[in-house]
Amino acid sequence: MKRVLLLLALLVAFAGRAIAVEPNERLADPTLEARARAISKELRCLVCQNESIDDSNAALAHDLRVLLRERLGAGDSDQQVRDFLVGRYGQFVLLRPPVEPATYALWFGPFAVLALGVLGIAVYLRRRAAGEPAPVQLDESERRRLAHLLKEDG
Amino acid sequence: MCRLLYSLPVALFVVLAAYFGVALVSGRDPHAIPSPLVSEPTPSFELASLDAAALSEEALKGQVTLVNFFASWCLPCRAEHPLLMRLAEQEHVPIYGIAYKDKRADTERFIAGLGSPFRRIGLDEQGRVGVEFGITGVPETFVIDKAGRIRRHYGAPLTADQVRNDLMPLIRELARG
């Protein structure tokens, strides 16, 4: 029983760590491997599209993981590796789109909408505070009718 | 001022409707990812080929050619194959095949069974040349002009419509120019 529990505990502990990177892909040098992992987390798998190549089991993702490790091993900088892939697959390969004129709407659009909303609320509140009309008084006949209705109720 | 404010939602609706309308009617495929290689020189590569000679980007220069990535294990490639045969035999378009992640024996069997529309077939067993061309699967087809520049990329199996309305006009235009 104890052994089963231990096994379960181990399974749970390692379940979250299941990654697509296969042991034989890893580089011997831990700093290079860490760089490779960091880069591959930011690169889109072009077969599954919503996974990074670090997470994906697709054959192309495997090829790209091996390729980027080769290039890092050959002395490329992180940026050179990214540029190599962007040059072939386009910016779509980057999971985090770069900030540039074509993506301004994407990056700043939500803030613009938020600013518009804040502006709208500010205008609304200012107008309400400034121009709130005095409450209208009931006239004599209305007051009599109200008293009558209240009496009827009670 | 007040009326202007109330008409804002209507104005927003009109703008959005126009935007979606244009996007729907234009026929643009939002899944199509434009290749950054279009109008760039063909990536350099050197592959062993099915016959004795090697296949490199040098072989593509001097005429308008197609480069078609295919594989024996790929069903859409089989579906596309008759179209390529017709292009090669009737339109005399030189097509160079690159067998992507395929074993030599399997490629040979594929060609023996279906016939070859290809001038030459490069063997990209590791898929490295596929990465150079930025392909994400097979089949994919590139149109390459006389100077060896990529002019068009089809990221899916060619269709008869595409060949008639897009590919052939482009090839004729490039052959003239």
- ipTM of the complex, rounded to two decimals: 0.82
Q: SS3 of B66, please?
A: strand
Facing B136 at nearest CB: one of A60, A67, A86? A60
Can you give the pLDDT at residue B169? 95
Nearest CA in chain B to A127: B2
Largest CA distance in chain B: 81
Q: What is the dihedral of CA B21, B25, B28, B29, to 10 degrees?
A: 80
Can you give the pLDDT at residue B27? 78
* B101 reaches A (C-beta below 8 A): yes
Q: What is the mean pLDDT of chain B?
A: 92
Regions of chain B short of the pLDDT cut 50: none
Regions of chain A short of the pLDDT cut 50: 16-17
Contacting residues for A16 by C-beta, under 8 A, at least 6 apart: none
Can you give the pLDDT at residue B102? 95
Whether the CB-CB separation of A45 and A53 falls below 8 Å is answered with: yes
Can you give the pLDDT at residue A60? 92
pLDDT in tens, A11-44: 665 554 456 777 788 888 899 999 999 999 999 9
Q: Is the dihedral of CA A55, A58, A64, A65 positive or negative?
A: positive
Mutate to test the interface with B, among A50, A60, A88, A126 (most CBs of B within 10 A): A88
Kindly provide the b/e burial profile for residues A45-68, where b requires at least 16 CB atoms within 10 angstroms of the residue's own CB.
bbeeeebbbbbbebebbbbbbbbb
**Which class for A146: exposed (0-12), middle (13-18), buried (19 or more C-beta within 10 A)?**
exposed
Can you give the pLDDT at residue A31? 92
CB contact under 8 A, A88 and B132: yes
> Rounded to an integer, what distance in angstroms lies between the CA atom of residue A109 and that of residue B64?
44
CB contact under 8 A, A92 and B33: yes
